[in-house]
C-alpha cells in the first residue's frame, strides 16, 4: 500500500492550477430520485448526477407525568381555580440529515380536539419545542395527547400518542353530628323521679358532672403526644452574596411555551405575591395571594421554596407544597396561580445556555 506522502505530487498539481472553490446551497427539490447539479465557473461548466432521498422528520412527546393532581384549598373551589391550571409539554423533532430545519405547521390535539396555539411554537437548536396545555377547565379523567407537524418540505410526522390521567382533589367536608334523639322516660323512671325531692336530684346531677370531668382529665393525661411524620428541615440562611460559580434564576414561561424574562435570585430571601408593599417580586394574577411564596438561599448555597399560606397554593413539579419547604433543583417547574416559572442554575454571563 502506498504511503500518504505519495499523493503529495497530485496535490501540488491541484495547487498549481489555482484556487479551489467550494459551494454550498439550499436545495428547493421536493421529490426523491435522480437529479443533476450543474456548476459554471467562467467558461467552464460541469454537470453531475446524484441520488436524493427525502424523508419526514421524527417527532416525539417527552414523557410527562402519567398522573396530574389538580388540588383546591376549599370544598367548593371552582374547577377553573384548581391548581395547576397549565401543564408544560416538551416535543422533540429529529431531522433525517441531523441538521435543524423549520416547521410550517403544528397540530396539537387532546382527545382528537384541536388545542388553540397563539403562535407557531419555535424550535431551539436541538429541535426542542415547548407547548402549554391549558387544563383549567378539565375535570378528573383520562386524556390522550397527540402532536402532528408539517416541515418546510411539506412532510407530515406524528408523535406516538401519550395518555395522561387528571385527578381532582378538594378537602372532604366534615361529617355533621346528628342531633340526639330524646328518649321518653319509662313509667318506673317517671315515678322514681317524681318521688325524689329536688335537693336529691340536684346532688345527683352534680355528682354526675364531677365524674365526667374526672374522666375527661384522666383521658387527657393518658393521651400520648402526636409525633410529626417528618420534622421541618433545619435551614441556616445565607449571610453573604451568592458564590460566583453559578447564578440562580427563575425563568417566566409565556402562553406559547417560549421562555420569557428572567429573575436573578441575588438576595438570600426573595418573596413573591400581588402586594407591591409586601413582596420583592410582584405577580399580577387573580390566583396569586398578597404574600404568596418565597425562595430562600441557605448557607450551603441550596435554594428552598416556601409557601406562605397562599389560597391557591404553591406547586413544585405539579405537587402542592405543605407546611415544610422543598429543595429546588435545576429545571424544576414552579407555579403560582396560573403563572409558571422554571428554576435554573446557569453559568455567569451565559443565561439560557445551561
58-169 — its CATH code?
2.60.40.10
Nearest to 279 by CA among 318, 237, 325, 310: 310
What is the model's pLDDT at position 72?
Answer: 82
Residue whose entry in the numeric block shows the C-alpha cell 408544560 = 88
| DSSP characters over 115-144 | PP-SSPPP--TT-EEEEEEE-TT--SEEEE
Name the range with the highest mean pLDDT among 150-154, 168-172, 349-353.
Answer: 150-154
As a whole number of angstroms, the distance between CA 293 and CA 291 comes to: 6
**Confidence (pLDDT) at 94:** 93
Lowest mean pLDDT among 106-120, 135-149, 195-209, 226-240: 226-240
In the predicted structure, residue 258 carries a pLDDT above the cut 80: no
pLDDT at 273 over 90: yes
- Residues 291, 279: contact at Cβ < 8 Å? yes
Average pLDDT over the chain reads 81
pLDDT at 210: 76
State the pLDDT at residue 112: 95
Instruction: Name 148's Cβ contacts closer than 8 Å, sequence gap at least 6.
Output: 59, 106, 107, 109, 156, 157, 158, 159
Low-confidence winner among 5-9, 157-161, 259-263, 317-321 (lowest mean pLDDT): 5-9
- How far is Cα 90 from Cα 128, in angstroms, rounded to an integer? 7
Q: What pLDDT is attached to residue 238?
A: 58
Q: Are domains 58-169 and 247-346 of this chain identical in fold?
A: no
pLDDT at 324 over 80: yes
- Any idea where the domains of the chain sit in the sequence? 58-169, 247-346
- What's the average model confidence in pLDDT over 53-78? 87
Q: Is 157 a residue whose pLDDT tops 50? A: yes
Q: 247-346, which class in CATH?
A: mainly beta
* Chain position carrying cell 427525502: 54
Task: State pLDDT tens for residues 13-53.
Answer: 766 666 666 777 777 787 889 989 888 877 878 898 989 88
- Please give the average per-residue pLDDT across 197-222, as a whole number: 72
Question: What is the number of H-type helices and E-type strands within the chain?
Answer: 3, 22
Q: Using pLDDT thresholds of 50, 70 and 90, give the confidence band for residue 272.
A: very high
Least confident range from 98-102, 198-202, 238-242: namely: 238-242
Amino acid at each position: 500500500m502506498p504511503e500518504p506522502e505519495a499523493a503529495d505530487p497530485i496535490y501540488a498539481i491541484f495547487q498549481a492550477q489555482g484556487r479551489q472553490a467550494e459551494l454550498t446551497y439550499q436545495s428547493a427539490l421536493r421529490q426523491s430520485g435522480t437529479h443533476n447539479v450543474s456548476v459554471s465557473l467562467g467558461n467552464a461548466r460541469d454537470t453531475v448526477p446524484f441520488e436524493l432521498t427525502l424523508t419526514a422528520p421524527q417527532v416525539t412527546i417527552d414523557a410527562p407525568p402519567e398522573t396530574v393532581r389538580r388540588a383546591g384549598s376549599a370544598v367548593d373551589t371552582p374547577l377553573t381555580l384548581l391548581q395547576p391550571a397549565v401543564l408544560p409539554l416538551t416535543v422533540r423533532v429529529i431531522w433525517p440529515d441531523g441538521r435543524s430545519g423549520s416547521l410550517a405547521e403544528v397540530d396539537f390535539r387532546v382527545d382528537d380536539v384541536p388545542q388553540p396555539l397563539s403562535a407557531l411554537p419555535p424550535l431551539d437548536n436541538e429541535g426542542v419545542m415547548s407547548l402549554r396545555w391549558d387544563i383549567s377547565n378539565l375535570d378528573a379523567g383520562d386524556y390522550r395527547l397527540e402532536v402532528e407537524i408539517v416541515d418546510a418540505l411539506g412532510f407530515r410526522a406524528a408523535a406516538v400518542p401519550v395518555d395522561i390521567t387528571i385527578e381532582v382533589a378538594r378537602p372532604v367536608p366534615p361529617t355533621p353530628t346528628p342531633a340526639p334523639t330524646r328518649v321518653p322516660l319509662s313509667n318506673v323512671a317517671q315515678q322514681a323521679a317524681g318521688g325524689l325531692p329536688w335537693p336529691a336530684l340536684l346532688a345527683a346531677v352534680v355528682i354526675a358532672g364531677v365524674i365526667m370531668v374526672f374522666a375527661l382529665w384522666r383521658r387527657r393525661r393518658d393521651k400520648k403526644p402526636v409525633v410529626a411524620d417528618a420534622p421541618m428541615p433545619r435551614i441556616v440562611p445565607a449571610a453573604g452574596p451568592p458564590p460566583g460559580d453559578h447564578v440562580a434564576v427563575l425563568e417566566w414561561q409565556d402562553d406559547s411555551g417560549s421562555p420569557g424574562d428572567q429573575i436573578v435570585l441575588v438576595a438570600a430571601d426573595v418573596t413573591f405575591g400581588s402586594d407591591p408593599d409586601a413582596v420583592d417580586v410582584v405577580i399580577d394574577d387573580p390566583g396569586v395571594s398578597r404574600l404568596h411564596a418565597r425562595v430562600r438561599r441557605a448557607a450551603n448555597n441550596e435554594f428552598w421554596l416556601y409557601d406562605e399560606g397562599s389560597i391557591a397554593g404553591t406547586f413544585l413539579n405539579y405537587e402542592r407544597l405543605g407546611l415544610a419547604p422543598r429543595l429546588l433543583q435545576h429545571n424544576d417547574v414552579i407555579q403560582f396561580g396560573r403563572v409558571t416559572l422554571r428554576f435554573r442554575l446557569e453559568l455567569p454571563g451565559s443565561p439560557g445556555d445551561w
